[in-house]
Amino acid sequence: MNHGKEEKPKDQAFSQAVTHMTPCYQCGTCASSCPVAKITEHFNPREVIRLSLLGERNEVISGDAIWLCCSCYNCHERCPQKVHIPHVLYMLRNIALREGHLPNIYSEFGSALWSNGRLVNVSRFVENKRPILGLPPLQPIGVEALRRILASKGLDKLQKKEEVQ
């Protein structure tokens, strides 16, 4: 109970970082404009902003919601406060990535890039189809150069996180 006093955010530094990016007053326009929120109850941009402003750092950073935004920018276009919600979500994803909270699908993409230089392995079957379709042979990939770029962004230390069922 807060006895009439304003409740302090749980993690003030985190809350201030988000507050700096958003003058959100929780009108909900973003949520009603969001195509992802329409199809899943696991994502609501207004709720992500609310929890962040309340300093609920762990819940936001270790949850899957921040990874569900598809960057369509509907919310940003319609927000009366011009909150750049996708950018807030990118910032939250960067924090989550640094702290090892990454959905498995992304760590699998990262591992595939690290190993082969491609997100998806091209099978011999698919490669053999290329000349039939008039496509040139696949070129070798500069995996070492790519690894240096990935390592410079910390993507060599990707950790898997349990998928939410």
CB of 53 to ligand SF4, least distance (A): 9
Give the nearer residue to ligand SF4 in terms of CB position, either 49 or 102.
49
Burial of 112 (0-12, 13-18, 19+ CB in 10 A): middle
Structure tokens at 66: 């921040």
Burial of 106 (0-12, 13-18, 19+ CB in 10 A): middle
Give the nearer residue to ligand SF4 in terms of CB position, either 27 or 151.
27
CB of 160 closer than 8 Å to CB of 102: yes
CB of 26 to ligand SF4, least distance (A): 5
Give the nearer residue to ligand SF4 in terms of CB position, either 15 or 33.
33
Residue 57: count of CB within 10 angstroms of its CB: 22
CB of 65 to ligand SF4, least distance (A): 10
Residues that bind ligand SF4 (CB under 6 A): 24-30, 33-36, 45-46, 49, 69-75, 79-81, 83, 85-86
CB of 68 to ligand SF4, least distance (A): 7
CB of 70 to ligand SF4, least distance (A): 5
CB of 58 closer than 8 Å to CB of 124: no
Give the nearer residue to ligand SF4 in terms of CB position, either 76 or 101.
76
Spatial distance between the Cα atoms of 152 and 125, rounded to a whole number of angstroms: 34
Give the nearer residue to ligand SF4 in terms of CB position, either 45 or 110.
45
